[in-house]
Amino acid sequence: MEQITKQENNAFFKVAEGVWGLTDIFVNVYIVQNKGDNSWVLIDAGLKTAYPKIKKMVTRLFGENARPKAIVLTHGHFDHVGSLKKLAEEWDVPVYAHHLEMAYLTGKSGYPPPDSSVGGGMMAYMADLYSAAPIDLSGRVEEFPGITPDIPFMPEWKYIHTPGHSPGHVSFWREKDKVLIAGDAVVTTKQESAMAVLLQTKIVSGPPKYFTCNWLKAEDSVDQLASLLPNVLASGHGKPMYGKDMQQQLLELAYYFEDKAVPETGRYVMSPAITDSEGIVSVPKETAEPYRVLLTVGAVAGLTALGWALYSKYRMQKSY
């Protein structure tokens, strides 16, 4: 298994002891194995295209017909739950998320709409095309139990509530070796840029701007994660980063968050989306942008070229 995970042409990779990742076009999913009984959980479920890759990864790591104890979510945006329902039903396992994320996972509310006016890159310009609709996993999805940050079937890990990118966003922390699975609270590439996504350029960045609906909470979340001084940072987008350079970048992001992460203008910059346990309460009016239509048209045109590039990457990953 160790030899398999080190082959460069494989779509999945080893992150740390008992932790593996898989890149589904532009978003990551993770598997965490428990040292005591070798049971494992899946963290997030990527796009719909992730399903066969996750199944192949599981087979290579654990053998045919292996299934997790549970699926746990950092949050429920479309690119993290695309294969969720199919996998959860096929494996017949529970799904766990923060209680402030439940409305978006049980069909009660959509997410605050994305903002394509922020970010300044093709991935951001295309945000109007991204779904903010909920999924309905009623009867399958459960809140993290109790008042402690314990995670079912992950005894060495704790969850940290890191809102801002979404109301119930969480990150996962293993204290013994300081491994942080941050979700989208912090990412390790400039997710707004199609070129950075394609090249997987490593840089510690704030949450993807186009879906972040509360910048004050996002800043608090980055402060909280930076204070941990992780040795390993694995995020929802980008390659894992390690060591002193990553720590320095994360600390600088926290200290200079307004300059490095917060857009100058945008729908949620001055006024956040207001949400509660039932979902959206109110959202600020859409920012007036005179070139918004042109940006959208340009994004659709650019989507064709980007789509071919991402599809080629997908085909390469699929063949591993």
DSSP per position, the chain: -HHHHH-TT-SEEEEETTEEEEEETTEEEEEEE-TTT--EEEE---STTHHHHHHHHHHHHH-TT---SEEE-S---GGGSTTHHHHHHHHT--EEE-GGGHHHHBTS-PPPPP-TTSSSSHHHHGGGGS-----B-TTTEEEPPSSS-B-TT-TTEEEEE--SSSTT-EEEEETTTTEEEEETSSBSS-TT-HHHHHHT----B-S-GGG---HHHHHHHHHHHHTT--SEEEESSS--EEHHHHHHHHHHHHHTHHHHTS-SS-TTTSSPPEEETTEEEE-PPPPP-TTHHHHHHHHHHHHHHHHHHHHHHHHHHHT-
pTM of the full predicted structure? Answer: 0.89
Rg (C-alpha) for the chain, rounded Å, is 18
Phi/psi at 168 (nearest 5 deg)? -110, 25
Please report the pLDDT score of residue 2 as a whole number: 43
| 288-193-75-268 Cα dihedral, nearest 10 degrees | -20
Q: Where are the domains of the chain?
A: 2-273+284-318
Tens of pLDDT, residue by residue, the chain (320 residues): 444 444 434 579 999 999 999 999 999 999 999 998 999 999 999 999 999 999 999 999 999 999 999 999 999 999 999 999 999 999 999 999 999 999 999 999 999 999 999 977 888 889 899 999 999 999 999 999 988 999 999 999 999 999 999 999 999 999 999 999 999 999 999 877 778 777 778 999 999 999 999 999 999 999 999 999 999 999 999 999 999 999 999 999 999 999 999 999 999 999 999 999 999 999 999 865 544 544 554 444 444 445 544 545 545 555 55
Token digits of residue 268: 């949620």
Contact between 20 and 5 under an 8 Å Cβ cutoff? The reply is yes
Residue 245: CB atoms within 10 A of its CB come to: 11
Q: Give the C-alpha separation, 245 to 251, whole Å.
A: 10
Please report the pLDDT score of residue 10 as a whole number: 56
**What's the chain's length in residues?**
320
CA distances to 11, 61, 178 from 65, rounded to whole Å, are 20, 11, 32
CA distances to 22, 61, 221 from 2, rounded to whole Å, are 15, 9, 34
Token digits of residue 207: 């949450």
CA distances to 177, 246, 290 from 251, rounded to whole Å, are 19, 9, 36
CATH entry 3.90.1200.10 includes domain 2-273+284-318: no
Please report the pLDDT score of residue 135 as a whole number: 98
